A and B are shown apart, each in its own frame.
Chain A
Amino acid sequence: MTETLNLKAKLGLDVFKEGGPFHIQINAGKQDDPRLLTCVRLCPAGLYSLDEQGVISLSQDGCLECGTCKIICGDELLTWAYPEGASGVQYRFG
């Protein structure tokens, strides 16, 4: 069987290029909106996490630019743009 990879190791397989400010922000005052819980569950890179106070935060390393969180939240909760040109994930297979 293939070795079971944890999510960090899976993201470590991908090529990410640095550049520009992070391209997704949770809008001010929206950190406890319940829709963000769906992002905790569905973000393929596991970037959304819930702390004990019920506040959701977003970490920046390993975004796959898939758009799932944008679809779940819409513009009201998130400010979402693609990263600048020549930065972010660069797939070698796709």
Chain B
Amino acid sequence: MDDEIFDALVIGGGLAGLAAAWTLADQGKSVLVIEKGDYCGAKNVTGGRLYVSPLLPHLGGLLDNAPFERSISREELCVMSAEGSLTLSYTDSSLAALPGQSYSVCRAKLDRYLARQAEKSGAILATKMRVDELIIEDGAVVGVRSGGEALLARTVICCDGVLSLFPQQAGLRGPLEPRHCAVGIKEVVELDAQLINQRFGVSDDQGAARLFLGDATQGRFGGGFLYTNKESIGLGLVLGIEAFSAEGLDLTAPELLERFMQRPEIAPLIAGGQSVEYSAHVIMEGSFDQLSRLYGNGVLVAGEAAGFSLNAGVTVRGMEYALMSGHLAARAVVETCKRDDFSAQSLSVYQKLLEDSFVLKDFRSHRSVAASLDHERFFGFYPGFVTGLMHDLYRVDGPKQPIYPTVRKHLKASVIKDALFKDLGKVRKL
């Protein structure tokens, strides 16, 4: 490893880094991945559901036999107030068809598989090693230092995940702010596959995704999530860091998770199961305006390190952007190797590739939608409004009003009838 100058050195063996490494090795380029975990995936947490459909045309060779958990055939949303909840469950023949459009995944399993594929293609993987800093000479990144050793490369691809320490060192972005970040906390509960099938009304290969809005986060920015794996359930909370910095909150994040897991909507679903892991990770709220600069002299940024994740409170999407941006960063390196020019100008082809892909198209169309939502109304008021209306519709303890007057009464009672229509417009864009 000592004297070799690699075509590319990848910091971080997560989804972005492994997609980059696999693509580069597949194109005959020399690539070294440095990962601090004992194995790839050892440090990584996701909800998680991966949308594979947009990736298959580009990364089919990498993903075709990947160890996914269940194809998500049932999409569910649970709107919660302190007293009650309304759950919508949707399925159709296309969601139920296999291969599915999206799958639940466990990162420790998935990342390890991707690492093996990258190695088979010829990438060199160095796990249990932490990159300490970038080596920058004359304004260009020329390698990294790790455990006192200098490792040199024509390009360095920063795939170090959400905290994005190396893009900051390279001067491509400033520090992250609490208002743009959330913390995700998760528990994995092992449960017999048959019980999962029964409880969620799915068959062996199919699964459910259930998202929770409202009281799961005590009406603050964030949400709850639950995904069925083959033989376990992954569930947890996403809490907006700024929203939970306010005074007057009594519960801690672990207490909120415990309270969520004991709700009558959740407890029966995991009953009899065995908790096997407790994990946490920061998530970037993500929007076009918060993206890092994507390239510099000798350096590219991919995955969440670049800001490629979208957190709308109830849904988080980052994995497909990580895989795709890693892949495109690799393609940009392949291009620049042909020119033997690794300057920022030459590497700017990466930006072009991203603009033409679903990655930047999605970020342009989601521009700050989440930020424009009135958090108090969305995460606090509406859940209470919806469950209050349901309560009156279903409660019978005297003469009963017909449905329409009941709905009208609730709409009138709510001070924000006008806002409702505006908000509906925004939700449509999410």
Per-residue contact bits, chain A 6-27, to B (CB 8 Å; 1 contact, 0 not): 0100110110010000000000
Interface size grouping (class) on chain A = 35 or more
Number of residues of chain B lying within 8 A (CB) of chain A: 62
Residues on the B chain within 8 Å of A42, using CB = 183, 239, 241, 244-245, 252-253
Contacts of A5 in B (CB 8 A): 275
Is A14 within 8 A of B232, CB to CB?
no
The A/B interface has a contact count, at CB < 8 Å, of: 154
* Pairwise interchain contact A66-B280, C-beta atoms closer than 8 A: yes
Looking across the interface, which residue of chain A has its beta carbon closest to that of B39?
A: A90
Bitwise, B277-292 to A at CB < 8 A (1) or not (0) is: 1111110000000000
* Residue pair A70, B163 in contact (C-beta under 8 Å): yes
Selected from A66, A85, A88, the residue in CB contact (under 8 A) with B282 is A66
Kindly list chain B residues whose C-beta atoms are within 8 Å of the C-beta of A83: 36, 130
CA distance A45 to B244 in the complex (A): 16
Closest chain B residue to A3, Cβ basis: B275
Is B176 in contact with A71, judged by CB distance below 8 angstroms? yes
| Closest Cβ–Cβ distance, residue A37 to chain B (whole Å) | 9
Question: Are B130 and A84 closer than 8 Å at their CB atoms?
Answer: yes
Q: Is B419 an interface residue (CB 8 A)?
A: no
Chain A residues with CB below 8 A from B251, complex form:
41
In the complex, are the beta carbons of A71 and B178 less than 8 A apart? yes
* A-B contacts, 6 listed (Cβ < 8 Å): A4-B262, A13-B276, A13-B277, A74-B175, A85-B129, A94-B279
If A2-B272, A2-B273, A45-B280 touch, does A93 touch B232 (CB 8 Å cutoff)? yes
* Nearest chain B residue, comparing its CB with the CB of A80: B163
- Contact of A92 with B282 in the complex, beta carbons under 8 Å: no
Across the interface, do A91 and B108 meet the contact criterion of CB distance under 8 Å? yes
Kindly state the separation between the CA atoms of A92 and B44 in the bound complex, as whole angstroms.
Answer: 10
Choose one: A10, A71, A74; the contact of B278 (CB below 8 Å).
A10
Indicate if the CB atoms of A2 and B106 lie closer than 8 Å. no
Closest 3 CB pairs of A and B: A94-B107, A86-B128, A44-B280
In the assembled complex, the CB of B257 is this many whole angstroms from the nearest CB of chain A, namely: 8
B245 and A38 within 8 A (CB): yes
Q: Does A28 contact B (CB under 8 A)?
A: no
Residues of A within 8 A of B163 (CB): 67, 70-71
Q: Bits for B243-255, please: 1 = Cβ < 8 Å to A, else 0.
A: 0110001011110
Asked if A67 and B261 make an inter-chain contact with CB atoms under 8 angstroms apart, the answer reads no
- B residues in contact (CB < 8 Å) with A: 36-39, 41-46, 106-109, 111, 127-130, 146-147, 162-163, 175-178, 181, 183, 185, 187-189, 232, 234, 239, 241, 244-245, 249, 251-254, 258, 261-262, 267-268, 270-282
Q: Which of B45, B189, B239, B271 contacts A91 (CB 8 A)?
A: B45
Structural contact, A85 and B128, CB atoms closer than 8 A: yes
* Bound: A11/B257 CA distance, A: 14
- The smallest beta-carbon distance between B353 and chain A, in angstroms, is 28
Contact between B45 and A41, CB atoms less than 8 A apart: no
Assuming the A-B contacts A13-B276, A93-B276, A94-B111, are A44 and B254 also in contact, with contact meaning beta carbons closer than 8 angstroms in the complex?
yes
Complex formed: what's the CA distance from A64 to B257 in Å?
Answer: 16
Chain A min CB distance to B359 (Å): 23
Within 8 A of B (CB), among A14-72: 14, 17, 35, 38, 40-46, 64-68, 70-72
- Selected from A38, A66, A72, A93, the residue in CB contact (under 8 A) with B234 is A93
Interface centre among B43, B241, B279 (most CB of A within 10 A): B279
- Chain A nearest Cβ from B239, distance in angstroms: 7
Contact B189 A2 (CB under 8 A): yes
The residues of A that contact B175 with a CB separation of less than 8 Å are 74-75
Least Cβ distance of A86 to chain B in Å? 3
- The answer for the CA separation of A19 and B107 in the assembled complex, in Å, is 24
Contacts beyond the supplied A71-B176, A91-B45: 17 A-B pairs with Cβ under 8 Å: A2-B189, A5-B275, A10-B275, A10-B278, A14-B277, A38-B244, A38-B245, A44-B280, A64-B281, A66-B282, A82-B130, A86-B128, A91-B44, A93-B106, A93-B107, A94-B44, A94-B106
Residue numbers in B under 8 Å from A89 (CB-CB) = 42-43, 279
Q: A44-B183, A91-B42, A94-B44 are in contact. Are A2 and B274 (CB under 8 A)?
A: yes
Tell me if B282 and A68 are in contact (CB < 8 A): yes
